[in-house]
Amino acid sequence: MSKFPRRTFIAGLSIIPFALWFEKYAAAAPPMVRYSLNSLNGRKMAKLYANAVRSMMNTPEASPVGWLFQWYTHNVRADKTKTGEINRIYPGGNSAPKSLAQDMWDTCQAHFGRPEQYFLPWHRMYVYFFERIVRKASGHTEFTLPYWNYSVNGPTHGILPSQFRMQGDPTFGSLFVQKRNTADPTQGTANVNAGDPIDKNDPGALDLGSLGQCQYLPQGAIMGFNKDLDRNLHGNVHVLVGNTQNMGSIPWAAFDPIFYIHHCNIDRLWASWNRAGRQNPTANSWLTKQFVFADENGNRVVATIKDFQNIAPLKYTYDRFEPVPACPAAKMGPEAAAAQQTRAIAPSGAVELSSAPIQVSLEAPPGPEAASVSLKDRVKQLKPGKHLYVVAKNLRADVQPGVLYHVYFDLPPGTKPKPGKRDPHYIGTLNFFDAMTTDHGGGSEAMASDTFLSFDATRVAKNLHLTKRLSTKPTLTIAPAKQPEADAKPVVGEITVVEQ
């Protein structure tokens, strides 16, 4: 008897557990290599990708291997609903493709309040099966999805690959999307399709700081690798490519062919982190979590995280991995989250952002001990090994603002901030990519997302203290990189300063 569960059938559509599917369709294949899009092999793959995208876009909408079906797996477009689109594309009674669409569409993790811990494995599954669909559509068994290394130093840093900027080109025109961010002469912002670096106005937004995280999951104010990568670099790239009807907005993002190249790179960073010895969660609830995808033949495959937590068993690798900094021993165990204490709060509560910089006071929290020690004194008394984190919780917005916001610690009033690390007060960047308050798809998991980001302000605060520039009552300044969407109404629900 087979050690795998027997496959079942619903309305003629095969349902296959991943282990059984892999043994039949993938186990005997040779290992595959994913290449940088800027390499010779990567450019070859980009040409095959363009041809396959064109074919997929011409595939009927109802097909699981067509472009719309794959786009909607991530999220249904914002001006439609999941129910409405399913009824439009699959009129009449129940059918196998309709059932598959119901189970696959709008399942992206971790948007709209879905558990963020599944962000990396869900996208690995998504890209894995998408790559196989593209491979078949291309007609080339050697095809692998290339990745966009936007963080690389040098002349290609932050520049959308040229193959995605060739409007009307007979070979690469299928990769061009008009609705990406364009230049604003009044603000000096990037024209993405013209080849400007996407971080032209946001230096530091493409940094690989998340690789320095020592644990996968959050520990107190420490974000952990999965959340850090999701909320920072991943979201920054989405917003910087933009706009609000494209990569910068969750419901539209997966329509742009660059989406999958971006997420291939995110997968590469996770593989780099694991390769350095960092460990994924071991809880059974994480390992056994399942999601539904379609393979290149339209089969329904039930994928389990335990089969996707490492890439070697999946028979693919990357041509290059990123170096990962070593972790201090003190940050590798559960004691890293111990003794977390709130040292300051923004007493005004929710902070509404606008088109101008917003300055927020940071005051000692209520309590006899806290009231006797100012934040300035806390910085002075900070013990070795302890850090100060500025924690921003419950980000929300009516629509995607379409910009990044730079965060500065104790910026003097009236001072014009310098974008990124050029400013001695800069502590990080936040985006509102995953801060929408509703799920238009109508899924049962729709809810406002309880987001949080943290910024390690230790170095900046200590430097300001040592140079006698730290105020008696430090403040926090949040400044948009450019003019946000007028009806966005972004809000940071709570701001605290935590010592950990």
Residue 46 CA neighbour count, 13 Å, CB half? 25
**387 backbone dihedrals φ, ψ, rounded to 5°:** -130, 155
DSSP track, 327-375: PPGGGSSGGGG-S-EEEEE-TT-SEE--SS-EEEE-BPPSSHHHHHS-H
pLDDT for 447 equals 36
First-last CA distance in the chain: 54
Place of tokens 């104010």: 221
Task: Record the tokens describing residue 284, joined without a space.
Answer: 């059974």
CATH topology of domain 339-499: Hemocyanin; Chain: A, domain 2 (2.60.310)
Write out the CATH class of domain 8-318: mainly alpha
pLDDT in tens, the chain (500 residues): 334 334 333 333 568 999 999 999 999 999 999 999 999 999 999 999 999 999 999 999 999 999 999 999 999 999 999 999 999 999 988 889 999 999 999 999 988 888 999 999 999 999 999 999 999 999 999 999 999 999 999 999 999 999 999 999 999 999 999 999 998 877 777 999 999 999 998 999 999 999 999 999 999 999 999 999 999 999 999 999 998 899 999 999 999 999 999 999 999 999 999 999 999 999 999 999 999 999 999 999 999 999 999 999 999 999 999 999 999 876 555 555 557 899 999 998 899 999 999 999 999 888 765 556 889 999 999 999 999 999 999 999 998 899 999 999 999 999 998 887 789 999 999 999 988 765 555 443 333 445 799 999 999 999 999 999 999 999 999 999 999 999 999 999 999 999 99
Q: Whole-model pTM? A: 0.94
Q: Look at residue 335 in the predicted model and tell me its pLDDT.
A: 56
pLDDT of residue 442: 44
pLDDT given at position 333? 56
pLDDT on residue 319: 98
Strand-pair category, 316-318 with 32-34: parallel
Asked if residues 490 and 432 have their Cβ atoms less than 8 Å apart, the reply is: yes
Q: Do the beta carbons of residue 159 and residue 261 sit within 8 Å?
A: no
**Are 8-318 and 339-499 equal in CATH topology?**
no
Query: Based on the number of CB atoms within 10 Å of its own CB, is 93 exposed (0-12), middle (13-18) or buried (19 or more)?
Result: exposed
Q: CB of 214 within 8 A of CB of 277?
A: no
Question: Domain extents for the chain?
Answer: 8-318, 339-499
Nearest Cα neighbor of 124 from 341, 250, 304, 257 is: 304
